[in-house]
Structure 1
Amino acid sequence: MLKLQLLGSPQISLNNELVDLRSAKAKALLYYLALNRRAHSRLAMAGLLWPDRTDAEARANLRQAVHRIHQHIPRCLATTRDTLQLNPGLDVFVDALRFAEEIQMALGKPDDAEIQERLRRTISLYQGDFLSGVFVDGAEEFEDWALSKREHLHGLAFESLRRLTQAALAHERVFEGIHYAQQLVNLAPWNEDSHSYLIQLLAMNGQVQAALAQFEQCRLLLRDHLADEPGQRLTELVADIRRGIEFEQKSVAIAKTGGSSADVGQLGQPKSSTTQKQNTPRHNLPSPLSSFVGRQHELADLARILRQQDMRLVSLIGPGGVGKSRLAVQVGRALRPHFKDGVWFIDLLPVGEDVTLEQAVASALSIHETAQGTLVDLLSLHLVDKEMLLLFDNCEHIIDSAGLVAMKLLQAAPRLKILATSREPIRIDGERCVSVAPLALPNEKHTHTTQALLAYESVDLFVQRAAAHTPSFVADGRNAAMIAQICRQLDGIPLAIELVAARIRSLSFNQMMAWLERDSGAHFRLAKQGQRNAHPRHQTLYNLIEWSYQLLQPQERKLFARLAVFGDSWSLAAVQNICGDGPDTDAPDYHTQVTTFHSQESTFDLLANLVDKSLVVAMQIGDEVRYHLLETIHAFALDKLAISGEETYMRDRHLAYYLQFSQAWSSLRQGISHEAWQSVWLAELGNIRAALSWSLTTGAAKSGLQLALNTGRFWFRQGFHRESTNWFQRLLALPTAQEDKSLRLAALSTTGFTNWWILGDYVTAQAQQREALALAHELGDVTQIGKTLNNLGGAALRMGKNEEAIAYLEQSLTLFSHNANRIDRAWSLILLGEALLAETQSQAAQTRFAEAVQLLRASTNRSLLAYPIRRLGQIALLRQETDLAGGYLRESLELNLAVGEVEGRVACVAAYAVLFLQSGATSQATLLCAAVSAALAANRSQLSGYDAQQYAWLCGHLRSADASFAETWNEGLKMSLDSAGELIADWAQRMA
């Protein structure tokens, strides 16, 4: 199937493979013919593209362009001596044609639900202006045609988005409306109505600051580009929004109803400001100069918890900078109506040698010390009948006295409640601990629209704070993804985000991104300028964590710095073996052994202390507790590790431990499910990467190559193929990688296989396998000679050199005929079967695949067994033997599912689609075909060999055979592999 994507930056693809014609004029010719489906005279086309040449020269150039198109896209054009056109029988999709047809039909009908859905579905095709970035030099007539098309399609897109936005606004579908309004603004930035829609929708969603920032952007655009100002209607709308700002009312409403931020947008203004003032209890809560962003669910949950009669002490626990204090103040503000004697904020930062906690509480409550009794007694007497909420902020540095005073006050005053913030629990009876996590972050593995990114609290906070510092700032399609990445780099920690957002005045996004990505320590340097009215430990993020660090005991500091060696989360066993102090900390060679340290118990205690103090995060994953450092804190710990002088020593120990770990788990086959085995590797992947990186840094090729080989099975099962070959390539390039020839041979064979089998890099694969073959002959390793011949045969097969492939593979089969290893012989049979199938010798291929199945059934390699069974099913499909094919495909799919072989599952689903088609279930075949496309895109992989050939034929056939192909295909794109499996199972049950 030929696919032309002309909306946005043009792309040409044939059977899902990108095609580059390498000629601007050849591309222009193909674009023009694709949009004008009729025969055109050669003379007219020559004049269109080469108007400044003679007729003879222009026609000669045209012949070259036609030849180039035929070279890359066979049978693309239908030509005669005098005319040419796009082949009428060609299966071709042109997004611009489909877009125009669908939109024009929809816009010509009444605006009902069906038309709205058609518009939603079709507008996604518009990825940018027609032939964006294309300029064909010297072809003015072509450029005029392209400009006309561009303007026409742009107008259709604008009208479609306008109608979608208006419909969403009319039906109060706010998120949908924001999504389309943002696209409308991007499409027509100087259209005032576009901005008006977006501003109104943002305000409806409670994003007041974003709405005001959008208005400012609109005003500047109109002034700078049109020398105009916003009209009266938009100006009045913004004035209404400014009058409606009431953050405090929003918080109170959430606390009363236990609702979410969506509920708040329905509130009106208070009936009487005088009544409000008379009924509001006293308080001393600080009034922040900036708005409170996000945390609406936490706010509602905390309000609900503190309204419970028996809940007396609630502690907000989390690392420094995560927003505990701000959340506590907001909760207190929301709960003021529920405590008739007020809500009182007690800042415990000044408490220390000169000020006691009791004095801080007394000062906040305006209670003066007397000579009678202790100050705690005086406080208890004052609070005995009070219905009051005290906010104890920053308890961690006086945790013992905070617990003692809280317990005495709560015992004395039955209607008193305390909300505390701390890095660790206060640990007295009745305490309810609530963890405060960083703000929500968008997943970097998924693609998000600009508006979808703005819905994340971390991104919203950055945008609001940046707009506060630079009023003209606005988040749009140009910077939203970078904002999301910055927030991810900062772990969603509010203090970090606020300090970095303030730098929007002096750094561009590109500079900020480059700095953050270049140096993890930049988290601190970017945030070096704090606010003058902040406590010293809040003036920089670095100082904040330094302050926490200085509160640790010496042994806790030592362990904290050592934890920086971990690349990701770690297990208790890992920290005990790597970070504990053994009896002899200088002598052991940690490249060859891992010592079991005698201080495991004390290491556990120190780690538990760091968890309690919120410097380390503990997570329950299945039956195991794992630990990790937030990235910002990890960067700080790295600085401390470097200063300690232990970095090389600790990284050597880390590498040694994970070399031993990988050896043990790579050979583990029995007594554990694939899912459990996989989860262990996934949990440790960050540490394996860190260990491999260290082996590269130190030139430890032997350790690095062995670790990579041990990890190879996991990488292959998970589809981490490019990562695998990248590590091998870099390790093999080390000078020390020449020392161990057996290890080098194994590494070349492994990565060479991945290069031809999965990645299609046949040239690199052949070079690697030829070096491996020479080493195997030098070492006299018959098994490796056979494996290398298999790999050379496989690469030749993929390059279309079938006869060369068969020669290599018959050599390897001869070698393995005397070898007891079933797996090696099975591989020779499988690859030889592939070569024979490519030569259309299906009967001979079936014999080889059947032999391979017989060998593998006697082995434990279920993953490989699935492959030749699938081929037997596909050969049965060639002969229309659907019952036989169904049996083979079902077994192959079940085997792939059992061992977690994702690519094998995808190939089986594609083969099942052919089976569905042969059985008359055309729509279901289209669903499966689309599900395969979605799975390949999600895994960034592609089918190869016979699977790819069969799938390409299937997609082309279904487009012509399925009357509702487009609609069914879009439905299938939403299906997961699990859903596809359920569809197959249901169909098989009905057919039984």
Structure 2
Amino acid sequence: MPFSPSSDSKADFVLITALPEERDALLDNLPGYRQLPPDNESIRNYFQADLPVVFSDGSTGTYRVIVMCLLGMGRIQAATATADAIRKWQPRYIILVGIAGGIEARDVRIGDILISDQIIDYELQKLTSQGPEIRWEVLRADPKLLDACRNYRSETWQESIQIQRPRKGKPRRHTGPIASGDKVIAFGKVLARYRNVWPKLIGVEMEAAGAAMAAFQSSAKPGFFMIRGVSDLADENKGTRSSEKWRPYACAVAAAFIVALLRNGPIPLYEKSSKKTQQVELILEGEFDAFSLSQQRNTIDVLAALLKIDPGDIRILEVRQGSIALLVEMPRVAASRLHELAINRDFRLKTIGLESLQVEGRATIRLIDTAAQDSNNILRWPSTTSVSGGVNVDAERDVNIHGDVVGRDKISNTHSANTSGGANIVGSVSVEGGSELVGRDKIEDNSIKTGNIIGAGVVVIGHGASASVTIEAPAPLIMALHQPPQPPQDFTGRKSELAQLVSILTQGVNTGIALYGLGGVGKSALALTLAKQLAPSYPDAQFYLNLKGTTQPMSTAEAMVRILRAYYPTSKLADREEELSGQYQSILYNQRALFVFDDADGAEQIERLMPPAGCAVIVTSRHHFTLPGLFTHGLDTLPPEDANALLTKIAPRIGGLGHTIAKLCGYLPLALRVAASTLATHVNLDPADYLRKLTDKQKRLELVEASIGLSYELLPPDLRQTWCKLSIFPDSFDEKAAAAVLELKPGRLLDVLGELVKGSLVEWNDVAKRYRLHDLVRLFAQKRLSKDEQQAAHQRAGQHYKHDKRQFYLIDAIFHLQHGGEYEEAAQLAVSNTSIIIGRGQSRTLRSLLERFKAGQLSNEQSGAVHISLGQVCTLLGEEKKAQARFKQAIAQAGTLSRSSSKSLLLARAYRGMGDLLQRESPPDALKWLQRGLQQLSGRDAQLEADMRIKVGTILMDLQKYTSAQESVELGMKLLLRGPSQLRAAALLNLSEIHYRQGHTRKGQQLAYRALKISAQLRDDWMMLRLKINMGVNADIEGNWSDAVTAYQDALELATRLGDVNHLTMLRINLGLLRMNMGDYAIADDHLQKGLKLARSHDYLKVHLANLLCNIADLDLRQSQSQEAMPSLLEAEHLAKEMGLDHLLPEIYRSLAQVYLLQQELRKASTFANKSVKLAEEFGDAVEMGKSLRVLGQVQWANNQHKVALDSFERSLSLLADHDPYESARTKAELGQRLKVNDELDRSIALMQEARATFQKLGAERDLASLDNFK
């Protein structure tokens, strides 16, 4: 492919973004990009890509493209960064790419493209007595790129948009002026003022004025251009959840468009450089991975260091599976040296240092002199050389310097040193230059001298004198959404299995893979290796979760909670598993996420954890099970050759004994790894002696215990028992927990744990900062502890977790106290914290622990309390029969107690549990149980009594016994202590609702605000959500629509944060209906469509689906779109009949009547209107009947039955007048219009004026406009 270089240091384009997400979207569209190494002259980070272009005449070439991201937002940051980029790269063009706010009045929609022909700077202002006066400054876009953009007619660029559009549609292009300044504009009145001066304004943003000014004022005079994707409409909705969903798409749209435009060749190439350089094409052939960007970048960095040229002078021409073609522009002296090597047939990878490329297998290199005119000058070398070792810098910060990575253990001698950062320095090494080589650990080496850092990694070549070298790698950035640990560095073999598994997932037939087999066979290692290969295909998130199937299986709910916590770290999540499942599926909808579920117990544990389409799952388990969409693969031990390779990779001195040791270890990866690590860390242990020990050792755990047992024997005697005590932890543990169990001081503890990690007897997770013992290793250690030793260790762990002030480890505390024989203490901790544990989604785990208590371990009183806690868990999980059985067992247990106070309290709690259980299905029965419970208390527990009285008040309110409800709640409040509490907030909310239902609006509001204040102090988001919805409903009923919208929007944000899809759907319905009545049809449609999407995504939300379809149809009908309304209404009718939602039928039939009325099918319209009226009358619903009579009147008027129609309107008005101000006003408007036609002008005018006053008060803009049109 021909290449026309711009210059040694010049760039064709510098693409600038303000935000990292904008930069990432650009890089995703640029093939073969790489990050350039930092230099001492700039604080900026740059990325470079060589972009192939095809011109209109068919000729081709390459643009050098530089990408940079600002350090911050705004004009100053943009101006400074642009000036820096111009000085460094002397670009021909500066292009600003990213997101912006669009102007809705110019028909701009979210997701569209903005092409700026002018930048309107509004920041320069004169302060006058009348306020600030803007002195506009106009900066024009580069005409060449603007013209190229206007004439770029292809729409194929949309295929490159890498983010799914949140809503159906296609991006449209808008060309015009864009306002720029330092202020975030989210206020319609400000935009309206700007548009008075600039009526063609299409958008607003914050950086263009600074970047454009820097370009125009520089001596180089690069052209300036800007492309923006619309992420919001620069109004009051900016920053809301709905607008935030568009940001990734808007970034992707802008990036895809600008890259496609550049690929189309909008400007000619630079003329060739006249410098004394030569272009050389290098083709490396070997096991190159065409999809490994890190391998490509590493190749360029090593070559650049070797040839002493800038990495920017090396371009990737083509990458195929098995080869990589590079075009290098280098001084002719360096090119001549390559010729000499070729002529002497001494061109070998090791000769020039290319062993650093870390290409597996064999590789050859061909040198092509592209500057030569004679084709005979093309030289080829067939020699092949193994490529390994050298310098490698990858994402895991493993740096090799002339040697292989051997792990993260620290080794020092005169010839090799391995830093804790994962770098290995082997042999005689020197670095050119005089500056210090900076690193993490100081290493003394007799043949190392300090020198320069070259590129992103460290490159050392040659020999030198004695000196010290330090290697420093930055600490990793831990992201909760990207959790999987790195696979073992010594992972060996399984290539065919990996290829098969990758193929299975990428074909799209299966959504997951289940790996099953013997413990220690390498399931987890293979899963993590597979996950690492698949990670680029699942960029949104990668999760790792140990489900503890072989010890204390994690409940499905707890697993969901842990994943949801990655998105919502502090919010309270749903209690019931069904609702939690909805949150789980909702947050993962439209995500490309990868899940590794390690050590699963079986199908039941995994089934609900299966994510929606677009995600992938890798499961490991000792059990074989099947699930739809899950491909199962049984994992066997390693083949003999791979087993030997693993042993010699970890401990090379095993030599020829590897095959025999591998056979004794049964080719089991865990046994192989532990055996090899034993030899690697104990250099005085002869491999032959070790082999003899393996042969002689008798073991129950067969292969694994052989190697673990020897490692155990090599521990100092005092360390052996210490290590065994750590086996009481069923999963990972931190240093504080280990200190408590081992009773060691911090300094000694770290030494002990360090020794155990070094010997591979304890694993360390650097991401989670926690330790663990492998399952089989834990089993080995447990067998070497006596029962008394185990109990004592469990007791210390239990006390440690119990006294954690954050209460993060309640489950752990209960587990260890229980296993330590402290049964009463464990039960008391579980019983007193049941609600907290349930709230964390650990219901099933709690149930498992509570069910472990055996007869005789607890007192009768504590046993009854445990039954009540189990009943509460079963109630939450929807297991009514089991819950009822537990409560009855508690009641029976209370009968065995001799102390009347203990008996009464236990009975009261059991009765309260029965009340909770029956509240939904049978409120009267629930009331009876609660009242029986109150009779038992008699002042024995004020808080419990208060809680039960508030619960009684709630049930009485639902039974419409408001006076009794109020008395009960107020009595409960008197029993509560002063100060903020959830119980006081709940009581105030109930009182507020009671007053609202009785029409005492002001009192209800006062109580609601008091509850809101307490909830805010407690940061109780669930209570806040309930309060906001309550306030919105009441404001809506009172006709305070603006207040209702505010309350609903606040509730919407809370529900979104909590992942409460049920309330999210309900709020979308309420906001959609409210906005529709206010005349904001576009916003109403947005809310309703989002609600519809949620309702269709979750089966348990199906109850909302018919209601949503009715509202969507109503919106269509208000815009006279009868054809669009019909499908929604027919589906709604089907759902209403199927689900028994008969109360929706009057609305459905009323809307069908309107459809047929618009279509002039008056007979059908009359039939459905009469059916609607009849059903509404049967249900006794005055509002529905009033609305149906209004539609019947419209049909009758269309049939020229004017007198009958007027009677229907009058009846509608009489029904609606006292119940719904808005619907009453709509009927008044309809009746007033008909009376005017009938020449009853006085009453017509009066009704129209009344309707106008109501519409004005409510803010029903379209209804007002309709009255004006009629006038």
The alignment's TM-score, normalised by the length of structure 2, stands at: 0.39
Tell me which structure has the larger Cα radius of gyration: 2
Question: Which structure shows the higher strand fraction?
Answer: 2
The alignment's TM-score, normalised by the length of structure 1, stands at: 0.48
Question: Which structure shows the higher helix fraction?
Answer: 1
Tell me: higher relative CO, structure 1 or 2? Use CA pairs within 8 A at least 6 residues apart: 1
